[in-house]
Amino acid sequence: MTKQATFKVTLTKSLIGRAEKHKACARGLGLRKIHQTVEIIDTPENRGMANKIYYMVNIEG
């Protein structure tokens, strides 16, 4: 079994007052609280969600 590529996303700004689609992207990535970091499998769908909310998150990897 091969290890899948992953990347880390950290929520750095609040979800309050953001567009509903952007909140949905953050929740879809598993982000709920500020400064929470999650490790996500690197797929085009997950990359797209992270890139859509680039102004609220730090992406590593």
- Quick: pLDDT tens for 17-42: 999 999 999 999 999 999 999 999 99
Spell out the domain ranges in the chain: 6-60
Mean pLDDT of 3-29: 96
Instruction: Please state, rounded to an integer, the average pLDDT across all residues of the chain.
Output: 95
Percent of the chain with pLDDT over 70: 98
**Any idea which architecture 6-60 has in CATH?**
2-Layer Sandwich (3.30)
How many Cα atoms within 13 Å fall on the side-chain side of residue 2? Answer: 4
